[in-house]
């Protein structure tokens, strides 16, 4: 199963949620292979996977400095030269995460992010809009799926779970990420723009024909027989909790986000998993995210105490740590 972690709003915690959820899945299912694909040009997820803010940044920069970058952007460079057929080099882009970060188990793999995705977006659009071959749009939108499928086959397709960290903008490379996803996880923050973002997801991915007719993303996918993903869950991320429940202010905003998602479900039940989306409350991670990201350390391995983050030593307290762990464990438990 391929999970895309996406919403049409920035700053909602997509990258850290991708990391914690994927690593929890890897920890609880050591018999499976976990593949993370970093489709955000900031490549924050790759930096965490490759060792954290310090070491991981150096490892990422080293990969980006290679003449033939072993990153998703490097693969897309190959596909720009060969847009309508796979290259045969797909599995050479697969990274065993534990080779770079000993904090991670040996069943975790990475397709590394690359800032060049921003530059490549225009080229992707140009190639996809060509009239010949007739399926040019489909071929281009399959680039990421081709890469993931080849890597998953090498790892063992039936035993591989994929997590794709997506950029909020619905640019060309995000379209490729959506095509490669089977399920969408939509993180939200406690504000009105997150409710609008859920509505934007409906228009951008599932029903843009009212605005752009047959040229909308959903209609183009329909034209070429490409299945759209379905929405798996809506996550209210970084919530302030009181007695294990969201505070009144957060609950009020979450109710509005739920209403927006449920109205969407009533209009288009086929856009969701059977029975509609799972709604999750993810507590504010406080210092946990800073420590985990800086050290490249999965949530399950973090214990209460002090950690060094550059020149300071933040304290991880048991109560917020356990609360966040319980929420991640609960979310991982409902993955299909």
What one-character-per-residue DSSP string does 138-164 give?
HHHHTHHHHHHHHHHHHH-GGGEEEEE
In angstroms, the CA 251 to CA 188 distance is: 13
How far apart (Å, rounded) are the C-alpha atoms in residues 148 and 109? 11
Q: For residue 286, is it left (φ>0), alpha (ψ between -120 and 50) or beta?
A: left
Helix (H, G, I), strand (E, B) or coil at 327: helix
Alpha carbons 311 and 315: distance in angstroms, whole number? 13
- The residue with tokens 């534990």 is 98
| Tokens 């919403």, located at residue | 7
pLDDT at 241: 47
Q: Count CA within 13 A, CB hemisphere, residue 237.
A: 26
Give yes or no for a contact between 187 and 20, defined as CB atoms under 8 angstroms apart. Answer: no
Note the pLDDT of residue 34: 98
pLDDT of residue 242: 45
d(CA 326, CA 81): 47
CA atoms of 336 and 221, how far apart (whole Å): 24
pLDDT at residue 244, as a whole number: 52
Q: What is the pLDDT of residue 45?
A: 97
- CA distances to 2, 14, 15, 41, 180 from 217, rounded to whole Å, are 19, 22, 24, 21, 14
Between strands 305-306 and 315-316, the pairing is antiparallel
Would you say how long the chain is, in residues? 336
Angle, alpha carbons 33-287-17 (nearest 5°)? 30
CATH topology of domain 2-333: Rossmann fold (3.40.50)
pLDDT at 171: 95
Question: Which residues fall within 8 angstroms of residue 245, CB to CB, at 6 or more apart?
Answer: 251, 281
pLDDT at site 238: 62
The domain spans of the chain are 2-333
Closest C-alpha among 47, 97, 103, 13 to residue 307: 103
Mean pLDDT of the chain: 91
The DSSP code for 220 is H
**Parts of the chain with a pLDDT under 50:** 241-243
Distance of CA 51 to the CA centre of its chain: 19
**What is the model's pLDDT at position 6?**
95
């Amino acid at each position: 199963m391929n999970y895309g972690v996406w919403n049409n709003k920035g700053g909602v915690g997509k990258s850290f949620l991708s990391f914690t959820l994927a690593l929890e899945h890897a920890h609880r299912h050591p018999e499976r292979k976990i593949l993370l694909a970093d489709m955000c040009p900031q490549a924050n997820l790759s930096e965490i996977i490759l060792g954290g803010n310090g070491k991981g940044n150096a490892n990422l920069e080293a990969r980006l400095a290679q003449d033939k970058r072993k990153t998703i952007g490097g693969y897309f460079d190959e596909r720009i030269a060969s847009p309508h057929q796979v290259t045969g080099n797909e599995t050479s882009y697969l990274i065993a995460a534990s080779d770079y970060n000993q904090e991670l188990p040996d069943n975790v793999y990475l397709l590394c992010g690359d800032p060049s995705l921003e530059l490549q977006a225009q080229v992707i659009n140009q190639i996809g809009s060509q009239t010949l071959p007739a399926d040019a749009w489909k071929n281009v939108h399959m680039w990421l799926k081709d890469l993931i499928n080849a890597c998953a086959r090498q790892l063992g397709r039936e035993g591989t779970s994929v997590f794709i960290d997506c950029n909020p903008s619905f640019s060309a490379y995000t379209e490729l990420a959506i095509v490669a996803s089977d399920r969408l996880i939509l993180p939200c923050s406690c504000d009105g723009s997150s409710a609008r973002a859920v509505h934007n997801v409906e228009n951008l991915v599932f029903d843009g024909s009212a605005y752009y007719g047959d040229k909308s993303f959903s209609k183009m996918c329909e034209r070429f027989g490409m299945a759209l993903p379905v929405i798996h869950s809506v996550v209210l991320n970084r919530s302030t909790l009181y007695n294990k429940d969201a505070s009144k202010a957060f609950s009020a905003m979450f109710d509005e986000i739920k209403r927006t998602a449920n109205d969407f479900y009533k209009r288009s039940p086929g856009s969701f998993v059977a029975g509609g989306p799972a709604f999750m409350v993810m507590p504010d991670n406080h210092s946990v995210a800073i420590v985990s990201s800086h050290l490249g350390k999965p949530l399950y391995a973090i214990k209460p105490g002090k950690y060094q983050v550059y020149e300071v030593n933040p304290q991880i307290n048991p109560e917020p740590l356990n609360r966040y762990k319980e929420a991640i464990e609960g979310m991982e438990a409902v993955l299909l």
